[in-house]
Amino acid sequence: MMKINPFETLWGAVSRHLKDERLRQLFGRYATYVGSSPFQAVATLLLIAHVEQEGVWTVKGGMHEVARAFERVIKRKGGIFRYDTHVQRIETSQGRVNAVVTSQGEYIPCRAVIANADANAIATGHFGAEISKTVKTLPANARSLSAITWCVNAKTSGFPLAFHNVFFSRDYKREFEALHQGYPPDPTIYLCAQDRTGAVADKERMLILINSQANGDHIEKNRDMIENAMRKKLASSGLDIDWSSAKITTTSPQGFHALFPATGGALYGRASHGFYASFQRPGAKTKMPGLFLAGGSAHPGAGVPMAAYSGRLAADAVMNFLASQGSRVASNQKLTLA
């Protein structure tokens, strides 16, 4: 337990090993992989650096192909998908889950439900008052970071972009302190130049991201200011983007909050601040028999590998639950993914 250094901050551990402020920023950034501050997150997150040393994988066809692969497997096994379908509530009877009701009025009987929405959506009653007490409400000050993202298709010049690029702020600590109040005047910018794995055409696709506090359940402020700061910083770093002819899609914390209700736009569930934070995430099994959780807000946490593993944990928990009832999943009406 002590070897994974759970009682020291990530920044503290990095500072002991590295004297160059730029290298500290580089390795401190691993905290943002789970939406946290390196000045509050535990040093255990440095394990990510060791994992990346073994190599980083990409998916042919992009990350969306992972979802499509799951879809193909589930359909082959007889599963049914209902897209563009809002779940109005998860219904219970005699203290256990017994159905999912959609906004179209469809009543789907089931013995078990895996909900991969943010756990706070359950806690705040988005799936009905009956199950809201099965998950603890996440306070706003415990939320992970959100982000503002710009999906850009534009012509670039002047800076030799790689696939992954990070333009750091001059004062990392001040940047994270400013995030408590709003947007920092000098933000760190992540830019993914998606076409840099091959030949770049006249225009290239880019994802540009800066960290934000998870305030998506409040009125949006200063978005123009932060976009101007982003453009100015990239230009001062030598990257010339032809904004006049660019196609741009922007998503703010308000947009993420709309996509993921009850989150405020937090992208990683609970922030990994302090030793105990990891143990405060809800597990796959809830207090309500038949209700199970998966996704980035559940154990073991955010990020594609961990969120996928949470699905594995939820699947195991469901099978154990059904086995304990002397049942097997024999039809699509006994297990519902909400």
Same domain membership, residue 331 and residue 223: no
Please tell me the predicted confidence (pLDDT) of residue 335.
61
Same domain membership, residue 125 and residue 211: no
112 within a domain of the structure (yes/no):
yes
CATH number at residue 133: 3.50.50.60
Same domain membership, residue 150 and residue 125: no
174 within a domain of the structure (yes/no):
yes
Same domain membership, residue 311 and residue 162: no
Same domain membership, residue 183 and residue 196: yes
Whether pLDDT at 22 is above 90: yes
Residue 204 near residue 173, CB atoms below 8 Å: no
331 within a domain of the structure (yes/no):
yes
Bigger pLDDT: 202 vs 252: 252
Q: What is the pLDDT of residues 280-295, one digit of tens each?
A: 999 999 999 999 999 9
307 within a domain of the structure (yes/no):
yes
275 within a domain of the structure (yes/no):
yes
Q: Which of 244, 267, 290 is the last residue of a domain?
A: 267
Q: Which of 267, 288, 306 is the last residue of a domain?
A: 267
Same domain membership, residue 285 and residue 191: no
240 within a domain of the structure (yes/no):
yes
Same domain membership, residue 299 and residue 212: no
Same domain membership, residue 258 and residue 162: yes
Residue 135 near residue 198, CB atoms below 8 Å: no
Same domain membership, residue 263 and residue 152: yes
294 within a domain of the structure (yes/no):
yes
| Residue 122 burial (C-beta neighbours within 10 Å; 0-12, 13-18, 19+) | buried
Give the gyration radius of the chain's Cα atoms.
22
Same domain membership, residue 311 and residue 197: no
Q: Which of 249, 267, 285 is the last residue of a domain?
A: 267
Please tell me the predicted confidence (pLDDT) of residue 173.
94
Q: What is the pLDDT of residues 35-57, one digit of tens each?
A: 999 999 999 999 888 888 888 88
Same domain membership, residue 91 and residue 112: yes
Same domain membership, residue 225 and residue 149: yes
- The Cα–Cα gap between 234 and 210 comes to 12
Q: Identify the sign of the CA torsion 154, 159, 164, 167.
A: negative
- Do strands 204-212 and 146-154 pair parallel, antiparallel, or not at all (unpaired)? antiparallel
Residue 212 near residue 265, CB atoms below 8 Å: yes
Q: What is the pLDDT of residues 115-165, one digit of tens each?
A: 999 999 999 999 999 999 999 999 999 999 999 999 999 999 998 899 999
- Who contacts 200 (Cβ-Cβ below 8 Å, separation ≥6)? 193
pLDDT band at residue 330 under the 50/70/90 scheme:
very low
Number of domains the chain contains: 2
Domain membership of residue 193 as a residue range: 145-267
320 within a domain of the structure (yes/no):
yes
